[in-house]
A and B are shown apart, each in its own frame.
Chain A
Amino acid sequence: MTKEKKEQVVKKEKKEQAVENLQEEEVILEDNRKVVLMQGNEAVARGALAAGLDFYAGYPITPSTEIAEILSEELPKIGGKFIQMEDEIASICAIIGASLAGAKAMTATSGPGFSLMQEGIGFAKATETPCVVVDVQRGGVSTGLPTKPSQGDIMQSKWGSHGDNPAIVLYPHTVKECYELAIRAINLSEKYRTCVTLLLDEVLGHMREAVRLPDISNVRIINRLRPTVPPEWYKHYDENQKYLSPVASYGEGYRFHVTGLAHDSQGFPTNKANEVAAQMKRLKRKITHNIRDLVQIESYMMEDANIAIFAVGICARSAKAAIKAAREDGIQVGLLRPITIWPFPDDAVRKMLRDVDIIIVPELNEGQLITELHRLTKDKADGKIIPIQRSDGEMITPTHILRVIKEAH
């Protein structure tokens, strides 16, 4: 080994050691909140635990595996359950089973596994069984680019499973947000009795940054509503105004039936048009009647903006850097970032379409988010909406976005 190489190795080891030390050394702030160096995947696992995760089933896949590794270490310590299943199909089914037995349950995967899980996700939505699926997106179609970023599952997270199945999908852009949205994903799954998807970018899953975790005693944890009626009165899909109804678990005396077939309010299969229509209406309205609670957006420097960038996840980070640089040159540009991508923030986007002259949409795919903007506007061809699309496994850089801002200005 040459001297130069040796030095490099020593340097690398020192760096790794420093990172480890940082991980171990938690900086305690005055208000008792900790600052830790954390990876996005780790933040998801820690957030899920903070939200009361009881059960995790998963199958190894890059770039999501750290979530399983961390939970395999942590769950047994608190009496929670971890199981590595034989594939992703088994994983989604196991978490639905666990949830029906009363557990807060989650799985994590990436594109290929997310495809395999789609049938199970549809089952969870149809049977209104709370659970969370984390998809740390990787590049490309098919096996693609396991270690490269992409935002190619934006549409799959909405339309992936067959039939009409309204989706709740959250999309973080920082490690801290990974933690917060993991909590929110579990909370929403419990509240709305559905499968909630958390979409991560590969680079966010693997990126480490300093995180100031929220004080756990202040974090709001939502648990599913429990029935307050005797078993003979219980309906597994009780009708009520907000379409949010109590849910019993197996083994508590309620002895209800669950099926993926179209079902009536008691859960028994039905072919009657009026009963099927009621189920479909319920699934849809559960989302559409609660848009205010579900939709979250971040509006960044939008007050005076005449150019807006519309982006999620890692592209929103590049956009923020580009906006800062552009603002120094006096360009009035801002960012609208959906934190909940499904249901889509129609109202906020309509307002943006009215308020600004130009909208730039950077995304790591061949045009998924942008189709939603086209849906909400009539003037598609006038150059108001400018795409920046990339699906070769590389990032859209701040410089790239800045160049487009300047060209549009």
Chain B
Amino acid sequence: MANIPQKVVHKYLRHNKKFPHVWCPGCSNGTTLGSIIRAIAELNYDRDGITMVSGIGCSSRMPVYVDFNTLHTLHGRALPFATGIKMTKPEQKVIVITGDGDATAIGGNHFIHACRRNIDMTAIVLNNNIYGMTGGQYSPTTPTGDRATTSPYGNIDPVFDICELAMAAGATFVARTTAFHAIETQSIIKDALEHKGFSVVEVVSSCPVIYGRLNKKGDGPEMMKYMRDNSVPLKATEKMTPEQLEGKIVRGIFKRVEKQEYCEAYAGLVAKFQNKEEAKK
């Protein structure tokens, strides 16, 4: 027997089939997958009780690697699939893995409506500012002026702030972190999973092979360093001037409120009829 230290992730990965994974060297998706798994391990959730649903894109390849109930759906549609699962089996912990293009472009409508319903699931948006899987086209979060294969002269589109969007649409837990801050990501995801209602965690991610190369951001480690040096915790922003905040990634939990959860509201509706039936008897 080789002397390999047993790691937490080993229990949760599908070892027998799906490795090596599809992600490029230097991609931060694997780091975030580690954070997600460790958050689940800390919470000691039963693997049978977790359903992981994703859309299409680099990050959306994640479910195939984990040993849960897993569903890799259509581009942008992870949330409505997840809604059907959650309503049918409300006891399932539903985690949706999605990307910037998947969640806010093709799936933008589903995203805002899932937020509005406040249905109990956690959407983890791995925001790498580009469509990686199709080779590097600009997404709704590609910074204005940046280059992509479809913005060779610099992107003229304004960007979406995923957290602002989620908060405005009615999500009851909204947070941002970066892939570099793996321990913080783990802790925020833990909070998001324990939150009753629709929770959104934006994980700022790095795509050195395409976005990084097109915009001269350096290799994987360089982009990790960028996240470290150019992000600030929410608390620290209180003392910062707008000039100091310019271009900074703000990390932390922006919103955490209690509100009627969708499946519970529906269960209340069903209970009314059952009570009537019992009263009749």
Contact = CB atoms under 8 A, between A and B. Distances in A.
Nearest to A259: B72
Contacts of A57: 80, 83-84
Interface in A69-112: 76-77, 79, 81, 83, 85-87, 89-91, 93-103, 105
Given A252-B48, A253-B48, A269 B64 contact: yes
B69 interface: yes
Contacts of A99: 84
Contacts of B89: 101-102, 250-251
Contact of A97 (B68, B81, B113): B81
A97 B89 CA distance: 10
B47 interface: yes
A377 interface: no
A12 to B, nearest CB: 34
B87 interface: yes
Given A77-B273, A260-B73, A98 B109 contact: no
B36 interface: no
Given A86-B110, A258-B71, A81 B87 contact: yes
B274 interface: yes
A102 B48 CA distance: 14
Given A81-B266, A261-B72, A102 B88 contact: yes
Contact of B88 (A81, A119, A260): A81
B85 A101 contact: yes
Interface string B14-28: 100110000000000
Contacts of A257: 14, 63-64, 70-72
A123 B74 CA distance: 8
A120 interface: yes
B149 interface: no
B281 to A, nearest CB: 15
A103 B92 CA distance: 14
Contacts of B109: 86-87, 90
Which residue, A251, A253, A259, A260, has most C-beta atoms of chain B within 10 A?
A: A251
Nearest to A97: B84
A260 B68 contact: no
B69 A250 contact: yes
A237 interface: no
Contact of B84 (A96, A252, A259): A96
B4 interface: no
Contact of A256 (B69, B113, B269, B273): B69
B164 interface: no
Interface string B112-127: 0100000000000000
Contact of B67 (A83, A90, A255): A255
B82 interface: yes
A251 B49 contact: yes
B236 interface: no
Contact of B77 (A81, A89, A261): A89
Interface string A330-367: 00000000000000000000000000000000000000
Contact of B53 (A97, A254, A256, A260): A97
Contact of B87 (A98, A251, A261): A98
A269 B71 CA distance: 12
B91 interface: yes
A147 interface: no
Given A102-B88, A257-B63, A93 B81 contact: yes
B97 to A, nearest CB: 13
B59 interface: no
19 contacts: A81-B87, A83-B83, A85-B80, A87-B109, A94-B87, A97-B53, A98-B87, A101-B85, A101-B88, A103-B84, A123-B74, A250-B51, A250-B69, A250-B85, A251-B48, A251-B92, A255-B68, A257-B72, A260-B72
Given A97-B81, A100-B81, A102-B88, 10 more contacts: A76-B270, A85-B80, A87-B109, A120-B74, A123-B74, A255-B68, A256-B69, A257-B64, A260-B72, A260-B74
